[in-house]
A = this chain, B = another copy of it.
C-alpha cells in the first residue's frame, strides 16, 4: 500500500483519516463533493505534496474512475449521513449510499485496486435481540433506509471480494464523536444550547441507549484491521465496550458547558422512525487484534464539546 484513495475526504471521519494516513507516510488522494464536508478540515494538508483533493461526486463515474488510477487501496467513507431523514427523501440513501458505493467499488475494480474499506453502520443490525451484538448476529431486519442502503453496500463489496478477489474491509460503526464532528445529536444539543442555554428539546424519551466511539480510536481500529486481518471479507464492529443513555450525554454536555437547561422530551422511546432504541456492539473481534480504544464515551463527548466550543462557526453551518 502506497497511495490511498479516500472518498468523503473532507468530512468528519475522512479528514481525520487523511491526517493519520499522511502522518504514517502514505500518499493520499482525497475525493469529496464538499456537500457536507468542510474545506477547512483539510486546510493543514493544502501544501502537503503527498496529498491531493479532487472535488467530485461519487455519482460521477467517469471522474471517479479517472481519479483512482494509480491508487492501491480505497477507503470509501462518503455517504449521505442524514440518517433520520430517509423517509422524507426516499431516493437519497439509495443513490448516495448504494449506487454511490457500487460506483466506488466498480471504479476500484477497473483501476485494478486490491483492497476496499467501507464504512458501514451498527444500524444494519436493526433492532437486535443479542447485546452486545456480534458481527454474526442473527440475520437482521432493516429499520431505516439509511441502514438498508449501507447493508446493500456491504453485500456489493462482499460479492466483489468473491468474484474479483478485491479484499473487503467492512466496518460497522457506532456513532463517532470527536474533533470535526458536525452532525448527530451532540451537535444538535450544542447548537440548541448555544442559542438558548436554558432550554433543550430532546427527540424520544432520552432513555435510548447508545454507544459512541472517539474518532481517533475509530481510525486506529481501521488501520489495525487492514494491517492485521487478511481474510477475503473482513467485517468488524467498531465501538466502545460500554454504552450510555442519551440523558447521560446530555448531563456531560451540560456539565462541560456549565448550563442547566429545562429539558423537554418528545414522546416515544425512539428519536425518529427507524431509530434504534439500543445500539451496543460486541467488539471482541477487533480487540482480538490488539486494539484498545483510548477514550471512554464521556471523554469522547467532552472532546467534542471542547472542539465545537472552540469552533462555534461550525454550529451555524447546518
Contact = CB atoms under 8 A, between A and B. Distances in A.
A90 B101 CA distance: 13
Interface stretch (A142-150, A189-197, A220-228): A142-150
Given A109-B90, A163-B273, A139 B142 contact: no
Interface string A92-115: 001000110010001001000000
Contact of A143 (B91, B162, B235): B162
Contact of A152 (B137, B143, B155): B155
Contacts of A137: 138-139
* Among all A-B residue pairs, the 10 with the closest Cβ atoms: A152-B152, A148-B155, A136-B138, A142-B158, A142-B155, A148-B159, A143-B162, A87-B163, A151-B155, A145-B159
Contacts of A154: 142
A14 interface: no
Nearest to A170: B141
Interface in A33-63: none
A127 to B, nearest CB: 9
A271 interface: no
Nearest to A138: B136
B163 A274 contact: yes
A135 interface: yes
Q: How many interface residues does chain A have, given as a range? A: 35 or more
Contacts of A90: 106, 109
A139 B145 contact: no
14 contacts: A86-B159, A86-B163, A87-B163, A90-B106, A91-B106, A98-B152, A126-B158, A142-B158, A144-B163, A145-B160, A148-B152, A148-B155, A149-B155, A159-B274
Quickly give the copy total for this chain: 2
B138 A162 contact: no
Interface of A: 86-87, 90-91, 94, 98-99, 102, 106, 109, 125-126, 135-145, 147-149, 151-152, 154-156, 158-160, 162-164, 233, 235, 273-274
Contacts of A106: 90-91
B109 A99 contact: no
Given A94-B102, A98-B98, A102-B94, A159 B138 contact: no
A142 B120 CA distance: 15
A110 to B, nearest CB: 10
A135 B143 CA distance: 17
Contacts of A148: 152, 155-156, 158-159
A156 B147 CA distance: 9
A194 B209 CA distance: 63
A162 B142 contact: yes
Contact of A273 (B87, B162, B273): B162
A102 B99 CA distance: 12
A123 to B, nearest CB: 10
A106 B145 CA distance: 12
Given A148-B156, A151-B151, A159-B86, A139 B138 contact: yes
B138 A138 contact: yes
A108 to B, nearest CB: 12
